[in-house]
Structure 1
Amino acid sequence: MTDGKPADGNTAIDHNNRESDIPAADALDAVTETGADAADLTSTGIAPDSTAPTNPDSDEDAEVDTSSWPVLEGAPFKLSRARRSVLQAMMRAKAKVGGKSVAIIDADGRKFDYNEILRASFGLGSALSRLTEKGEKVAVLLPTGAGAGIAFFALNAYGRIPAMLNFTAGPKAIKAACRAAQATKIVTAHKFIELGALEELERHLAEDHEMIYLEDVRETIGLGDKVRALLGPVFPDLVATRVSPDDTAVILFTSGTEGDPKGVALSHQNLVANVEQARAHVDIYPTDIVFNSLPTFHSFGLTGGLLLPLLVGIPAVLHPSPLQGKTIMERVRKTRATVLFATDTFLNQYARVAEKGDFDSLRFVLCGAERVKDETRTMVRREFDLMILEGYGATEASPVIAVNQPERNKPGSVGRMIPGMSARLEPVEGIEEGGRLHVKGPNVMQGYIFADQPGVIHPPKDGWHDTGDIVSFDEEDCVQIRGRQKRFAKIGGEMVSLAVVENIATSLWPDCLHAAVTLPDPRKGEQVVIVTEYANAERSDMVAFARSHGIAELSIPKRVIPVSEIPVLGTGKINYVAVEKLAKGGD
């Protein structure tokens, strides 16, 4: 199960077995289905990548001598495999595994093969092309499922650019995202709005956006659309709009917790390259089945959970809400999924509700978006003998930068860089081991799009993206994440990692959330405080732990602030902006 070997052949899914061919118009039914409980839909999403740096202290235009910065190169990568559009990449997968191979298994158990997904994409795209212009950015507001995937490929097939919206972000942030992308039309579904109780959001968005409902579009599908739906999968070059691999394929958005969200423009090459880099780095078997409940407005959910299986040629089991732990475990067992995409927060929840046998079909769990806690890793290994492969990425890198491998899994690291990537470390004052990570590769974004300069793509200088993360490379070239530069405090001239402060609290009180933040200090410039959900937390306990484990005294917080609940984003990532407000309120 965890030794990297293929799962046994008794999977519950026959990749090539379909009882009937569903006409294109009927396959479009999937676009309006959600399969989620209404209570979960408005809180299912991972928040946009909140680790994306704003780099307020950096001067993009300043000339900096980088010649002395240490540089590390990943394994060679054959770029030719990425020089195609996402639609061409899916056509290649279809040719490899066969049009009747299962591509997507939706939340209601419906199976869609490659032919059906492609027919629905060409048919829907044809209808949407009458409502939009070539090259137009069209916002998409849908949960994870076949419908979101079909809408993504439908827009791309006809030269439109999907801008994936976080429906948990609220009207202000969503409007800012649309403004940055210059998206005036939003594709969604009546059923999704109803099940998610999103009527208030819908009302706000409809004030200055044209709402396109997929149920209404389906009613307009005519003979011409059906002909294109039938011809597209067979003769795509005759039907699809010709695009370059260097054209924008999607716009995603980073967190707006410190201001308006930034758009991240990713090209077709960026997305296809990241899929090819990942498959070259981690062995994926023809018998594999990916389970994904992470949202498609997040790069991990879009590239890892949707595009990777579709473009490689293995089934993607999609689920609209990562919060439905019990249901997810039942579906993992029923579908015999072999690879589970998750975050530490969600995996911890799944492990607590899982019953014996629920994880048996899995080869490994691939975790990203946040650090995997030792407690989670230990519990999953002890209770289920299951391997966790921790990875690291950023929306700006499509997203995968590094990931552990089944044959070389090094807990505490995020593994080696994927093929085709280059990294360099910018020295940071006060930090002796490691530096600020800059990355370059075929998966690195076209650039940022800002709300105050709508539609303008600001490319990273010389192709290098500044991640804002402090990392080091060990003797095996594995990446060790030390923290974000913003997640260090400077106290009396010394750099203190806030992650170390949090680790002390986690070691003492493992069943609670803890968050370390800095506040102004009149004597030392900054002070560290720890906000914790553990009601009986005492600073004296942290002092004793630090001394007994040889941890520097500077890593002991000045104050401990118990709270009833630490605010988190949709991923389970801690919302440090809100935590800082809590800490200031406790002054």
Structure 2
Amino acid sequence: EHLDRQAAILANAEASFLITVPEGLGAARLLRARLPALRALLSPQELAAEGGRLHQRRAAHDLALIQYTSGSTGDPKGVALRHANLLANIRAMGEAVDVRGDDVFVSWLPLYHDMGLIGAWLGSLYHGHPLVVMSPLAFVARPQRWLRALHEYRGTLSAAPNFAYGLCASRLTDEDLEGLDLNAWRVAFNGAEPVHAQTLERFIARFTPYGFHRSAMAPVYGLAECSVGLAFPPLGRGPLVDYMARDSLEPGRRVRPADAGDPHASHIPACGRALPGHELRIVDDADRPLPERTVGRIQFRGPSATSGYYRNPQATAALFHDGWLDTGDYGYLADGEVRITGRAKELIIRAGRNLYPYDLERAVAELPNVRRNGVAVFASPDPATGEERLVVLAETRECDPEARERLRRRIHECAVAILEIPPDDVVLAPPRTVPKTSSGKIRRSACRELYERGALTQRRAVWRQLARLRLAGLLPSLRRLSAAGARLLYAGYAWTVFLAMAGLMLLATLVPRESWRI
């Protein structure tokens, strides 16, 4: 599936050459067989050996990069970003956090992710402060390496998705952290996926003894369509969390406060105000602005905003609403700061209620024998009635039938306790079943597609998948060979006719006219 997605992206981008590490050239050849426009495959070493540089001047309105979002395989959405968009976003983020010349940014984020590329790499180049770069694999293998780098290089700025903070808070032992000093870390950006209030508190409690300041934790909000960042909290404030009744978070409703200990309360972190020079608003489905503390669709505008999706006019038309861009998220404003309640396309309509999957996913992930970041909750239509069914997918290594049945009952109890309705189906699947984006976010729509095909619990052999891709790649080649063969046969036929006619004409000139008579 990953190569299918890459092939769709490259076809949409009309890519003519592809650069990859030597280890990736085998997979790249599978892609090349399916993409006639892809003329060359290069490794960085081969590219460096080519010699001279390209000296081309670029204007602010020129296309800088195309950033593909995690859409469906058949409909890739490439966010077209111009140089002016990137520069505006980098400047605005720098102003929001008061970037200084003595700052040090420490990052393990991959450079194919917007937070790693734009926020860390390009931002550090623009502002002229040091950047310490680590491999994402180094962090995943030993999360303490990230914190040790912050300690060693006196890092002041760093960013990570929510799961990374949770991983450090739960996995690292006192021995792993011996001698650690995080006192210099002044802004800890937490974004790129839904921010969990519980994770914020766990991380702060765990690392306060090691010099981490509560005021450094900064839940942020952004999206590819705004380059990367859109809303940042006030500098040095620390996390601010709303406790709201879960049933009041439906679109169009005014949120209702709840007690922090209420089991039916949602904990919603504030992600701050729009960056300098940018605007946010909350609207209903008719694009009418809503008052504060009323849930609606989040829209924005500003100099960081994309001009549209590359070669996708339908998606571009749906993105713009009278000069504002639709984020695809639901949320509300309180005191000018935005709170995110969920993705519009992930909203589950069940028994006349609108449900978000996130609280249940977090609760199920905490159960014994369930893999963290291996839970997806989504809706799937009932083939008989057409009504949406609530499905819980959880990865587990548990094989014992009785233990699996107990786990299903626990998941059922979680759903009733949190959503007040039971799940229609609980699927226990082996590890690495839940599809994720390149940045680790769960692809719930892909989960639903696999579920409806009955493919969630099927483990296809790798050699079969590679063979399928190879055969798929051979089809265009066979078509090209067939077309070339047809052209060759036609050329041969044409030459045969031409030579026969030429021969007859030559014969006519050599034979005396009198011999023509019978």
Fold shared, TM-score > 0.5 on shorter chain: yes
Cα distance in structure 1, aligned partners of 2:161 and 2:3: 26
Query: Is the CA contact 1:290–1:309 (under 8 Å) kept in the aligned structure 2?
Result: yes
Question: What are the Cα deviations for residues 379-432 of structure 1, in whole angstroms up to 9, with x where unaligned?
Answer: 311211234311111111101111223423324122222122222323159x99
1:210 aligns with: 40
Structure 1 residues 492 and 220: CA distance shift in structure 2, 3 A: closer
- Structure 1 residues 472, 209: CA separation in 2 closer, same or farther (over 3 Å shift)? same
Sequence identity of aligned pairs in percent? 27
C-alpha distance in structure 2 between counterparts of 1:462 and 1:323, whole Å: 45
Q: Which residue of structure 1 lines up, in the alignment, with residue 480 of structure 2?
A: none
| Aligned counterparts of 1:332 and 1:221: Cα–Cα separation in 2 | 37
Q: 1:324 to 1:494 in 2, by over 3 A?
A: closer
| Structure richer in helix, relative to its length | 2
Q: 1:520 to 1:253 in 2, by over 3 A?
A: same
CA contact (8 A) 2:168 2:203 kept: no
Deviation at 1:459, TM superposition (A): 8.0
CA contact (8 A) 1:401 1:417 kept: yes
Partner of 1:427: 284
SS at match of 1:389: strand
Contact 2:5 2:73 in 1 (8 A): no
Are residues 1:275 and 2:90 paired?
Answer: yes
Alpha-carbon spacing, 1:329–1:398, altered in 2? closer, same or farther (3 Å): same
2:48 alignment partner, SS class: helix
Name the counterpart of 2:475. Answer: none
TM-fit CA distance, 1:313? 1.6
Task: Decide which moves more: 357-366 or 381-390.
Answer: 357-366
The SS at the match of 1:537 is helix
- 1:314 Cα deviation after fit: 0.9
Residue by residue, what CA displacement relative to the aligned partner does 1:168-214 show, whole Å, maximum 9, x if unpaired?
x84433333232222202244xxx32xxx313123234543313444
| 2:221 equivalent to 1:392 | yes
* Residues 262 and 451 in structure 1, CA contact (< 8 A), matched pair in contact too: yes
* Displacement after TM superposition at 1:450 (Å): 3.5
Report the secondary structure of 2:310's partner residue. strand
CA contact (8 A) 1:323 1:346 kept: no
The residue that corresponds to 1:465 in the other structure is 325
Number of residue pairs matched by the alignment: 391
1:177 and 1:451 in contact (8 A); partners too: no
Match of 2:300 among 439, 442, 445: 439
**Equivalent position SS for 1:304:** helix
What are the Cα deviations for residues 365-388 of structure 1, in whole angstroms up to 9, with x where unaligned? 212111123443233112112343
Specify the alignment match of 2:356 in structure 1.
497
Match of 1:383 among 184, 206, 213: 206
Partner of residue 310, structure 1:
125
Provide the C-alpha distance between the structure 1 equivalents of 2:408 and 2:68, rounded to a whole number of angstroms.
Answer: 39
Contact 2:363 2:414 in 1 (8 A): no
Does the 8 A contact of 2:70 with 2:437 survive in 1?
no
Matched, 1:178 2:38: no
1:473 to partner: Cα distance = 0.8
Residue equivalent to 2:429: 563
TM-score normalised to structure 2 length: 0.66
AA aligned to 1:282 is V
What is the CA distance between 1:559 and its match in structure 2?
3.8
For 1:451 and 1:171, the matched residues in 2 are separated by: 21
Q: CA deviation at 1:443?
A: 0.4
The answer for the alignment partner of 1:517 in structure 2 is: 378
Matched, 1:265 2:69: no
Structure-to-structure mapping, 1:62-101, within 5 angstroms: none
SS of 2:220's partner is: strand
Q: Distance in 2 between matches of 1:256 and 1:497?
A: 19
Match of 2:178 in 1: 356
SS in 2 for 1:301: helix
Distance 1:350 1:257, change over 3 A: farther
Give, in whole Å, the separation in 1 of the partners of 2:363 and 2:317: 42
Of 420, 423, 443, the residue aligned with 1:553 is 420
Residues 322 and 269 from structure 1, CA distance in 2 versus in 1: closer, same or farther, beyond 3 angstroms? farther
| SS in structure 2 of the partner of residue 433 of structure 1 | coil
The 2-side partners of 1:459 and 1:577 are apart by 19
Q: Give 1:486's match in structure 2, choosing from 345, 366, 379.
A: 345
Q: Which residue of 1 aligns with 2:309?
A: 448
Mapping for residues 39-118 of structure 1, pairs under 5 Å:
none
Deviation at residue 301 of structure 1 after TM alignment: 1.6
Partner Cα separation in structure 2 for residue 433 and residue 557 of structure 1: 28
Residue from 110, 129, 134 that aligns with 1:295: 110
**Contact 2:360–2:414 (Cα < 8 Å) also in 1:** no
Query: Which runs of no fewer than 5 residues in structure 1 stay unpaired?
Result: 1-168, 229-239
Residue 462 (structure 1) shift: 4.4
Aligned residue for 2:189?
366
Change (3 A) 1:467 1:540: same
The 3-state SS of whatever aligns with 2:136 is coil
Counterpart of 1:537 in structure 2 is 407
Q: Counterpart of 2:427 in structure 1: which amino acid? A: I
Which protein has the larger Cα radius of gyration, Structure 1 or Structure 2? Answer: 2
**Structure 2, gaps ≥5 residues long:** 242-268, 397-403, 458-518
Contact 1:502-1:516 at 8 Å conserved across structures? yes
SS for the counterpart of 1:479 is strand
**CA distance in 1: counterparts of 2:198 and 2:179, whole angstroms:** 21
Give 1:288 deviation, angstroms: 1.4
Q: Tell me the SS of whatever aligns to 1:314.
A: coil
State the secondary structure of the residue aligned to 1:384: helix
Q: Which residue of 1 aligns with 2:270?
A: 413
- 1:484 deviates by 0.9
Q: Tell me the residue number matched to 1:526.
A: 388
How far apart, CA to CA, are the structure 1 residues paired with 2:8 and 2:178? 46
User: By how many angstroms is 1:542 displaced?
Assistant: 5.5
Cα deviation digits, residues 498-535 of structure 1 (max 9, x gap): 23433453566697443211122456821212223465
| Corresponding residue SS for 1:250 | strand
Measured at CA, do residues 458 and 501 of structure 1 come closer, stay the same or move farther in structure 2, by a change above 3 Å? closer
Distance 1:285 1:172, change over 3 A: same
Flag the 1:333–1:517 CA change in 2: closer, same or farther, 3 A: same
- With over 3 angstroms needed to count, the CA separation of the structure-2 counterparts of 1:306 and 1:462, relative to structure 1, is farther
State whether structure 2 residue 44 is matched by structure 1 residue 221. Answer: no
Paired residue type of 1:493: G
Q: Distance in 2 between matches of 1:540 and 1:459?
A: 40
Change (3 A) 1:317 1:531: same
Deviation (angstroms), 1:481: 0.8
CA contact (8 A) 1:491 1:524 kept: no
Q: Distance in 1 between matches of 2:89 and 2:429?
A: 41
Distance 1:552 1:524, change over 3 A: farther
Look up the SS of the partner of 1:284 in the other structure.
Answer: coil
